[in-house]
Chains A and B, each alone.
Chain A
Amino acid sequence: MTASSDASSVAPRSGPSAPVGPPPRRSGRPYGEWLLAAGLLLPNLVLLVIFTYRPLVDNFRLSFTDWNIAAPVAHYIGFENYKTWWHDPNSHEVLRNTLIFTVCAVGISMVLGLALAILLDQKLRGRNLVRSAIFAPFVISGAAVGIAFQFVFDPNFGMLRDLFHRIGIQVPDFYQRPGWALVMVTTTYVWKNLGYTFVIYLAALQGRRADLDEAAEIDGASAWRRFHKVLLPQLRPTTFFLSITVLLNSVQVFDIINVETRGGPQGYGTTTLVYQVYRETFVNSKAGYGATIATIMFVILLIITVIQVRVMDRGMHRD
């Protein structure tokens, strides 16, 4: 084999381009790869279109109708449902409930989840048992949890009544006072879903760079500073992921509210947007109006998610 033949059989060492084989497409990937990707994605895309996007579009369309759920036909009424919702004082109460419930549910479950994850990331006796106990409620159905918590909050027979009675305080009527009912529903929701934030944060803690923490400790950083300046930035992607998923899940809570309060007391005491959708559609038979509220909820969530993505994205780039 000669030197020249060697040179012709290998890629050149320099030069802007020296293609081997067929020229690639402008995007730099051959058709085969595109076809493979499309083939792999297609089944999921078809399912998404059928079961997610089509109902979404259909819901949007129905929001402009007066559809009674039992009726075979619906009539187009323009923006009438949207106007009704906007001017209905109950809608403001529902929005307020949704906001309070979501902020509390997201905030408390993330702070508590992180605190418990940090605690149980330490080498403690029996920590696996405690980890399992914290995660277990997450896999129990919301309806079952709602029923179980009636034995905690019932003002006549509940566990809290006993506890309050022992210290000489009258237990609030969680079922008849809207504010306390919202506390009950939020507490139940956080208890049930705490395991989710806990286990995700725990996984993130176990994958973090321990050397950074050690370096900070050697440099004399305080525990708070190590937490604030070293640990939290490392957990930022996890916090971002959790903030979106917990928010979306908490806005969609239905089972616990339905079992514990049915959206009451006093009308809309614990009614959130998603429960209002159910109530208008199935209780009041106003499916067109229910579709309107679902659309409004979708738009609100879309805006919040886009803002979250933007804020988190900026934070990442700053880091």
Chain B
Amino acid sequence: MSGLTRRGFLGAAGGAVAATGLAACAGTGSDSSGKGGKGGGESNTIDFWSNHPGTSTATEKKIIAEFEKKYPDLKVKLTDAGKDYEEVGQKFNAALAGGNLPDVIVASDVTWFNFALNNRFTDIDALFKKEGLSTDDYVEGLYGDYEYQGKHYAIPYARSTVLFYYNKDAFKKAGLPDRSPKSWDEFTQWAPKLQAAMGGGKHALILDDGADYLDWTFQSIAWSYGGGYSKGWKTTFSDPKTIKAATVLSDWGKKGWVKTSADSASDFGAGLGGVLLESTGDLGGFKELPFELGVGFVPAPGGVKCCPTGGAGLAIPEGLSAKRKANAAKFLEFLTNAQSTVTFTQATGYMPVRKSALKLPAEVAYLKKNPNFKVAVDQLPKTRPQDNARVFVPGGGATIGQALDKIIAGANVESTMKGLDKTITKAYESQVKPKLKA
């Protein structure tokens, strides 16, 4: 073990450098054609990679069974591709290098763009046209979220918006009106009363933590103050209006009114918070709560659109054979047709992605019987697409979430937001901008 001489070490290091030089001629290990080693087969089995958004495994299996009944020559393999959207994206990244590509994949608002930018997803418009399928019935705003340079790279599936959930019992105890606040300033006035009504160890507001989706939910708060993460590709974290929103968040943290959590919906469901800012997709899980649930629009002072859309769509990888793409398109269309949309949305709480689904008698009756679900649908016209800094810059959402975590914990707001401006701009310039020009 003691035989490592200086000469030996230098020799080994020289060898490593030489080997590196030789290897520099090689590729990345990822197939540049986008086909992957086994991506181009003729299989009649459709491999569907999903994280089962909104605990939808049983619902997805049900819709798959109906699909297989309609198309007996096709089979669908439902693959557990991760516990959240990010893990599905990571698994797909590995598949790009390894070659075993799925036929259909759940792609979130944050993950789809990087794959589209690098030519890893199929142009849905062209494929649907070729297969004689139509995209006209999808809700325009939700379908438009997947547009890049005039082409769409996914179709909407488990689409959500941010909702304002509140504990009606706690609101009543605090003497607050039975509604969501008109602005976050109004909430700030309510917060001490709500905090007192909740009692020790509990909080007026529960938010996702930065490792989850705080960057998504806080976007609506930033918008309500006229700020945001970016305008086009220019970041606006240092904009005084965004700073104002972040300062409000910081103050809530300092006063102990807000708690962040990796599982905010469960914490809220357990009665640990008076208000929860979360996805419509959590609505389906709020069935047996120890308190009466209230659901409202997110605060939008002055009628400004302050609600971000979110959730996930379905994409087809580039590089599959024409036959596999055709089968995948059939499945995509079936999984999101009006009837499947009704089945899926009623089980999970996600928004209907088909305009015609809202007119089906079953959906009309359901929304009448479940007014909380109707709130999400009614809020849809008040939504707006998310800022590029979060959804189109690789790692943008995660980076913003980390900064917001620090702000809640007491970090200086201005310097943290300025840091975000630098970090996100650098990521955009190195990873997105060169490809946009190309």
Contacts and interface: CB of A to CB of B under 8 A. Distances in A.
A binds B: yes
Interface in A68-122: 68-74, 76
A273 B398 CA distance: 18
Interface stretch (A188-196, A208-216, A220-228, A283-291): A283-291
A244 to B, nearest CB: 10
Interface stretch (B123-131, B222-230, B283-291, B401-409): B401-409
Contacts of B28: 62, 65, 67, 71-74, 287
A62 B405 CA distance: 32
Interface stretch (B19-27, B45-53, B176-184): B19-27
B27 A73 contact: yes
Contacts of A201: none
B34 interface: yes
Interface stretch (B57-65, B113-121, B366-374): B113-121
A265 B93 contact: no
Interface residues of A, number: 41
Interface in A237-263: 261-263
B241 to A, nearest CB: 24
Given A58-B29, A156-B270, A264-B210, A76 B24 contact: yes
A52 B28 CA distance: 17
B395 A286 contact: yes
A170 B394 CA distance: 39
Nearest to B25: A61
Given A70-B120, A284-B394, A286-B395, A58 B24 contact: no
B395 A285 contact: yes
Given A57-B16, A70-B114, A286-B431, A310 B394 contact: no
A61 B86 contact: no
Most A CB atoms within 10 A — which of B16, B34, B209? B209
A180 interface: no
A158 to B, nearest CB: 13
A282 B90 contact: yes
B43 interface: no
Contact of B19 (A57, A70, A282): A57
B246 to A, nearest CB: 15
Contacts of A265: 209-211, 405, 409
Contact of A266 (B34, B93, B267, B405): B405
Given A67-B28, A266-B409, A285 B402 contact: no
Nearest to A63: B20
A283 B405 contact: no
Interface string B394-433: 1100110011011001010000000000000001001100
Contact of A263 (B19, B211, B259, B395): B211
7 contacts: A58-B23, A69-B93, A70-B93, A71-B30, A72-B33, A266-B406, A309-B2
The 3 closest A-B pairs by CB, nearest first: A284-B395, A267-B402, A72-B32
Given A70-B115, A70-B118, A176-B209, 5 more contacts: A68-B114, A68-B431, A72-B32, A268-B402, A283-B86
Interface of B: 1-2, 4, 16, 19-20, 23-24, 26-34, 86, 90, 93, 96, 114-115, 117-120, 201, 209-211, 259-262, 267, 270, 272, 394-395, 398-399, 402-403, 405-406, 409, 411, 427, 430-431
